[in-house]
């Protein structure tokens, strides 16, 4: 399998480098999420303090209804902003991991083809047809995998983007509908 200790050592070093790179990708993703969590915690504490202060200043039911209405949209906007940030961090990490895996597959296929070349040089006469067929199979499989992978990435990104947009639009429409109903209900209650 290995013709020299240098090849074996090079393989070991390459595997170590891959493990370090994979660990770096995973840790960078965890760091993104930890930073998002810390930023969200800060914002929530600040918003809660402001909301509590505003709530303490409320003197009557009408002011309470107005406060509730005024806090709803910013809260939803913040929730959707956080969801978008989390989605973006997850996509960034997924993209890096996918790229890493694709590189490893490409490298593995390259090594497989190099091994087939060495095999064909040492194989008995007449086996070159079988080796050629095997190479063609590997190349065709790689092309099919790349095509399916690109299509799947594009479709999943489009679906995810459309889902986020639809959820945002629906929530905003719901808030707008509730906001319109509350003043009408407050007016009817005070009459």
* pLDDT of 45 strictly over 90: yes
C-alpha dihedral sign at 169, 174, 179, 180: positive
Calculate mean pLDDT across residues 67-89.
87
Predicted local distance difference test score (pLDDT) of residue 184: 52
Q: How confident is the model at residue 2 (pLDDT cuts 50, 70, 90)?
A: low
Predicted local distance difference test score (pLDDT) of residue 6: 83
In terms of average pLDDT, the best of 50-54, 119-123, 151-155, 187-191 is: 50-54
* pLDDT of 185 strictly over 60: no
Predicted local distance difference test score (pLDDT) of residue 27: 94
Predicted local distance difference test score (pLDDT) of residue 180: 66
| Per-residue pLDDT tens over the stretch 85-105 | 998 999 899 989 988 988 988
For the chain, give every domain's residue range.
8-185
Secondary element (H or E) of residue 183: helix 128-190
What does 105-169 look like in DSSP terms, one character per residue?
Answer: HHHHHHHHHHHHHHHHHHSPTTTHHHHHHHHHHHHHHHHHHHHHHHHHHHHHHHHHHHHHHHHHH
């Amino acid at each position: 399998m290995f013709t020299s200790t240098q090849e074996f050592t090079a393989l070991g070093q390459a595997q170590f480098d891959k493990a370090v790179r994979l660990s770096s990708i995973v840790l960078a993703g965890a760091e993104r999420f930890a930073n998002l969590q810390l930023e969200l915690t800060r914002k929530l504490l600040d918003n809660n303090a402001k909301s509590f202060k505003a709530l303490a200043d409320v003197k009557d039911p009408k002011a309470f209804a107005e406060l509730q209405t005024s806090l709803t949209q910013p809260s939803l906007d913040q929730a959707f902003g956080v969801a978008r940030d989390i989605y973006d961090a997850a996509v960034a990490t997924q993209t890096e991991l996918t790229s890493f895996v694709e590189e490893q597959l490409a490298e593995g296929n390259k090594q497989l083809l190099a091994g087939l070349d060495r095999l064909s040089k040492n194989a008995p006469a007449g086996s070159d047809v079988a080796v050629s067929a095997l190479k063609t199979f590997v190349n065709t499989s790689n092309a099919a995998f790349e095509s399916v992978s690109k299509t799947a990435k594009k479709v999943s990104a489009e679906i995810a983007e459309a889902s986020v947009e639809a959820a945002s639009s629906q929530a905003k429409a719901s808030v707008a509908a509730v906001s319109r109903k509350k003043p009408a209900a407050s007016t009817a209650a005070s009459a």
